Amino acid sequence: MANVWFCKEGPRPNSGDPPYQMPIEECVRLLGLEKESFVGGLDGPTPKFNVNSPIGEIAGYKHVVIEVPKGEATSDWQAGYYYLPMSPTEVIERIGKDPAPLAKPVI
């Protein structure tokens, strides 16, 4: 299963468990995940946004990253992180069910 992460700006983009876990095929079908949105492997740093921004904790989740674990990698999908160009709110609407309680975006 791929992990769908909501990320904040600043040095700590996320914590805890991912709000969603789903097969890569569902990420493609529901969220429009594309291979070209690959931003880095699992051996590299976790994607961060506006690292020096002090408002990340206040502003809440603004970005979405899909993590494909090594066990889920295929000849089509490499293990690592993929950026989704949509808001957490849009992801929730497309998936059609609420995320884990601690992962709800600030609106």
Nearest CA among 87, 60, 76, 77 for reference residue 4: 87
Strands 80-84 and 38-40: antiparallel
Q: Is 40 in a helix, a strand, or coil?
A: strand
- Is residue 41 within 8 Å of residue 60, measured between CB atoms? no
Longest dimension (CA), the chain: 40
pLDDT in tens, the chain (107 residues): 999 989 887 767 677 788 899 999 999 999 999 999 999 999 877 777 777 777 766 777 788 999 999 999 888 999 999 999 999 999 999 998 888 765 545 44
pTM equals 0.84
In DSSP terms, 17 is beta-bridged to none
What region does 81 belong to: left with phi over 0, alpha with psi -120 to 50, or beta?
beta
